[in-house]
Amino acid sequence: MMKNKLFPAVFILVFIALFVFGGMAFFNRSYAITVYDGEEMILNKTYEIDTRALLYVKLFCKGSFGRYYQKLLEKGEEIPLSKISAELNDDIYSLPKKSDKAPKNATAQYLGNGKFSYTKEEIGYRTDLQKTVENVFCAFDTGGRANLFKDVIEPEITETQMLSATRKIAEFSTSCAGSSAERKHNISLACSLIESSKVESGEEFSFNKTVGPRTTERGFRTAKIIVGGEFVEGVGGGVCQVSTTLYNAWCLAGLKVARCAPHSLPVHYVRPGLDAMVASSSDLVLLNDSEYPVYIDSYFGGDTVKFAIYGKPCGMNVKLRSEVLEILPCDDYAEEKVEITDWKENELFRIIKKPENGLISASYREFYDDNGTLLSRERLRKTVYLAQKGKIVYRNTANSAVKKIPETLTHFRG
């Protein structure tokens, strides 16, 4: 009787052992899985399911792979597909390489003369692997069809945004009327080297790097420049008017200036404190502190130098202001070493150049709303411009002993 009672238990143990160690010949282990990305079939393959996983599904999940997925999640399984088929796991986790797509921002290309061409934005996609894996598990219960789940990734910059970020936001011009042909040539050449420059968000624009060295080999000519508080002849004369014009346009656009130096003397083409001197040892560096690219448009024609800045408006009206804080008077003359042959009778000396007063100025940038209300003001800099001595030529050496100019001539002061 004891043997008869043990027989059913032994039979059950043998039956289970056959399932676990001998395979599951009693169950179908082959499953066809088809995965669709929308209407496109991206995977169609038959997989052999792990014996132990299949046994677990049959015995403890009521034959449902969906239930098995939930149990694996409860256990904290990170890659549950590997529990049923390593091959299926690899295939599913390789799908993002085929289906994922990075978004593309809209772009703008400056064509010159204030015109742009635009490239429309494109949305991107990222596979939601968790939802996709869950759907694959459920597909074992519902005929083998699964869907690829993807999240839409919106581009950061749309064409509409780019259109609003390529508006003319500032413009400034200066006059070079009366300049020599050589000076105008240098101005034109420098403007052409800057034309259509693009400054990315967070990027700096260096005037010296963009224009390059001012040498005769590069096409620059000799004209008046300021050296040591005097106007002298030098290669590249006139280029500082280009940097000054660009500086003012940039400031009016509400953008940041990283580096700027004034001349030692006032210049005629801009108000005191609003000039920007450039030389081999002094650069004008502009910073694009906006969220979008900034484009620089230059123009030179006849007697006008002009720069226009295109980008995203700062949302305020910007004005530049200059005020003279103090006059530094000058009545002094220095003797000029030049030969004069057309002396008039009783003429003891001749004024070649009258003295020019120096000054101290302050320059400001002011921000207004559309109603004209001042919102904020920042001081750009305080500038000291040197006084310039007059120049005098004496008729003979004896007259040069006269150091003081008669009071009747002091009206020559600038």
**C-alpha span between 73 and 80 (Å, rounded):** 8
More confident residue, 144 or 78: 144
Rounded to the nearest 5°, which phi and psi values hold at 122? -130, 135
Q: Is the pLDDT of residue 396 over 90?
A: no
**C-alpha span between 281 and 260 (Å, rounded):** 12
For residue range 110-131, list pLDDT tens digits in order.
998 889 999 999 999 999 999 9
Other beta carbons within 10 Å of 141: 15
Most confident stretch, 6-15, 148-157, 226-235: 148-157
Q: Is the pLDDT of residue 143 over 70?
A: yes
What's this model's pTM, rounded to 2 decimal places?
0.75
Q: Is the pLDDT of residue 7 over 80?
A: no
Q: What is the pLDDT of residue 8?
A: 57
Other beta carbons within 10 Å of 274: 25
Q: What is the pLDDT of residue 334?
A: 87
Distance of CA 161 to the CA centre of its chain: 15
CATH of 317-414, one of 2.30.30, 3.90.25, 2.20.230, 3.40.50: 2.20.230
More confident residue, 17 or 344: 344
Q: Are 70 and 95 in contact (CB under 8 A)?
A: no
The whole-number average pLDDT for the span 129-144 is 93
**C-alpha span between 93 and 231 (Å, rounded):** 73
The whole-number average pLDDT for the span 180-195 is 95
Q: What is the share, in percent, of the chain residues with pLDDT greater than 70?
A: 88
For residue range 216-246, list pLDDT tens digits in order.
999 999 888 877 666 778 888 999 999 999 9
More confident residue, 92 or 12: 92
Long-range contacts from 30-34, C-beta under 8 angstroms, 24+ separation: 31/140, 31/144, 32/144, 33/88, 33/136, 33/139, 33/140, 33/144, 33/146, 34/139, 34/144, 34/145, 34/146
Instruction: Concatenate the DSSP letters of all residues of 344-394 into one string.
Output: PTT--EEEEE--B-EEEEEEEEEEE-TT--EEEEEEEEEEEE--B-EEEEE
**Please, where in the chain does CATH 2.20.230 lie?**
317-414
For residue range 237-272, list pLDDT tens digits in order.
999 999 999 999 999 999 999 999 999 888 999 999
Run of H or E including 3: helix 2-22
The whole-number average pLDDT for the span 74-98 is 89
For residue range 284-332, list pLDDT tens digits in order.
999 999 999 999 999 998 899 999 999 999 999 999 999 999 999 999 9
The whole-number average pLDDT for the span 2-12 is 54
The residue type at 165:
A
Q: Is the pLDDT of residue 68 over 50?
A: yes
Q: What is the pLDDT of residue 69?
A: 93
- The DSSP call for residue 302 is T
Give the pLDDT band (50/70/90) at residue 339: confident
Among 302, 299, 262, which Cα is nearest to 282's?
262
